[in-house]
Amino acid sequence: MSMFEFDDKTKLKSLKILNFDVEKLELDKIRHVPMHQYRVATKENPMLYVENLQVCVALYAYSDNFGFASHINTVIIREDDFILNDNKMPIQLRRCMDLKREILEYNSMKEPTKIGLALGATPISKSYPTMRLIYEGIEGLIYDLNLLGIPTKRLEDRSMPEFILDSTHQKIILPKKS
């Protein structure tokens, strides 16, 4: 469980192990998203790679060459994913605030922004306190963005323990079926 961004060698090894079609991917354009962190797609790295979602989830969004992906641990609570109260209990999902800031900074979307949640291999219940905060955060974020005149729509939750968000083509790339 590394919290560090993969170098190209580690990225390639991981993508092969997880059965991605590496022959069709430009490795130098893919940026790894470490646990408890998020990344924003850039012109140099328009693809974001999220892996090893077990009880974790990934908040992701894309539109018009914009991409955002995060790796949120729903059980090991840290202040990088959530805002905590004085008792170190999570009270708000920080990643929704990060996503809103990045969308407002990018601010040149012509198509609706699509926001989704990728569930891990062993997802926890939607009623679990951190999951409730995640769903509430996403609903509030979509409401705020639409009020600001940024058309935003919610995608269905998907079981995707690993995926690549391709911001250039506004799509999700999944591993090949075994």
User: In this prediction, what percent of the chain has a pLDDT beyond 90?
Assistant: 84
Helix (H, G, I), strand (E, B) or coil at 145: helix
Supply the pTM of this predicted model.
0.93
Sorted by sequence, the CB contacts under 8 Å of residue 13 that are 6+ apart come out as none
Q: In the predicted model, what is the mean pLDDT of residues 122-132?
A: 93
CA distance 33 to 29: 13
Note the pLDDT tens digit of each residue in 104-123: 998 677 789 999 999 999 99
Q: In the predicted model, what is the mean pLDDT of residues 9-37?
A: 93
pLDDT band at 44 (very low <50, low <70, confident <90, very high): very high
Helix (H, G, I), strand (E, B) or coil at 143: helix
CA distance 29 to 42: 9
